Chain A
């Protein structure tokens, strides 16, 4: 076999180091799945494929975990309850109250749901059998970002009225000459770029992480053969896979933290005009 197969059909094709095929570097194809079922409602094509399934599993895991953890709350918490309480306290004290202040408790349901959802969806990237970070499909972070955008725009207009746009675009203490350039930039960056980068950040981190893991896994399979280069390379790739999986776990939780933190800071900016 001389042609290079796709990364996701490496195992079936029997391609390896000395069989004459090139390294099947994983590319954007690994993010495309064959739908399990597809149906049409009102002329719109819906497809049910692996990311959706992983998302549903994740949601069910979250629901079961928290209903189990807080079904019979005790004064002295047991294992599951204390994990639930710890994560809630982390989001409330480290993200909510730190950023929004004393109004934070009002937004805790939103912030905590967002944190749990993003964290579980991301960590699905390294759970065996799932092994796909849902947020690596651009539609998911985009919908979250639209939700966050609507929330902070609504809160801004509700708490600051029409002055919201002015407060957002005109930083205080800036001379009028600079303002001509600065105001459009601020408007553009706060209202248009913000949700875009919020989505891109989450998406690209998960996308890059999944691609990175796949490169090492594919290299482990591809290099596995009875030769010095094969054994050394394959072992090194495998060790890198394990290390990178641990690294990814950290990145996934960090991205959930950053997503929630930025949401909280946008909400804080909408509640009170910056001085």
Chain B
């Protein structure tokens, strides 16, 4: 791990590049999750168009909860770059 850190430091001149890698890792899970949420949401709307309001509302709540994880990954490098 320390070698990896040293290598990253050598490439970018600082540890800042790790933030981008961290964000990339943090985006994997929410990316899959959001895909599942909207995929199934659209499918549900196609099956039952009259329930559009309820489905869309629940879809966006799920989307917001999944997206929060990716955004935490985006913010974390900025938060920890100061120290």
Number of A-B contacts (CB under 8 A): 41
Within the complex, what minimum Cβ distance (angstroms) separates B40 from chain A? 18
Which of B57, B75, B78, B81 is close to A99, meaning CB atoms less than 8 Å apart? B57
Contact between chains at B61 and A205 (CB < 8 Å): no
Q: Say whether B54 faces chain A, with CB atoms less than 8 Å apart.
A: yes
Asked if B60 contacts A257 (CB within 8 A), the reply is yes
Q: Is the interface of A mostly helix, strand, loop or mixed?
A: helix
Contact present for A261 and B68 (CB under 8 Å)? no
Q: Is the CB of B75 within 8 A of A201?
A: no
Partner of A261, one of B60, B71, B74, B78: B60
Are A261's CB and B61's CB within 8 A? Answer: yes
Q: Is the CB of A262 within 8 A of B78?
A: no
The docked-state distance in angstroms from the alpha carbon of A207 to that of B54 is: 30
Chain A: interface residue total (CB-CB under 8 A): 18
Q: What does DSSP make chain B's interface, helix, strand, loop or mixed? A: helix
Chain B residues with CB under 8 A of A204? 71-72, 74-75
Tell me, yes or no, whether A11 is within 8 Å of chain B by CB: no
Supply 9 further A-B pairs (C-beta < 8 A) apart from A201-B68, A261-B57: A94-B53, A95-B57, A200-B72, A204-B72, A208-B71, A258-B64, A261-B60, A261-B61, A262-B61
A-B contact pairs, 25 of them (CB 8 A): A28-B81, A95-B57, A98-B53, A98-B57, A197-B65, A197-B68, A197-B72, A200-B68, A200-B72, A200-B75, A201-B68, A201-B71, A204-B71, A204-B72, A204-B75, A207-B75, A208-B71, A257-B60, A258-B60, A258-B64, A261-B57, A261-B61, A262-B61, A262-B64, A265-B61
Chain B residues close to A by CB (< 8 Å): 53-54, 57, 60-61, 63-65, 67-68, 71-72, 74-75, 78, 81
Where the two chains meet, the residues of A that have a C-beta atom closer than 8 Å to any C-beta of B are: 28, 94-95, 98-99, 197, 200-201, 203-205, 207-208, 257-258, 261-262, 265
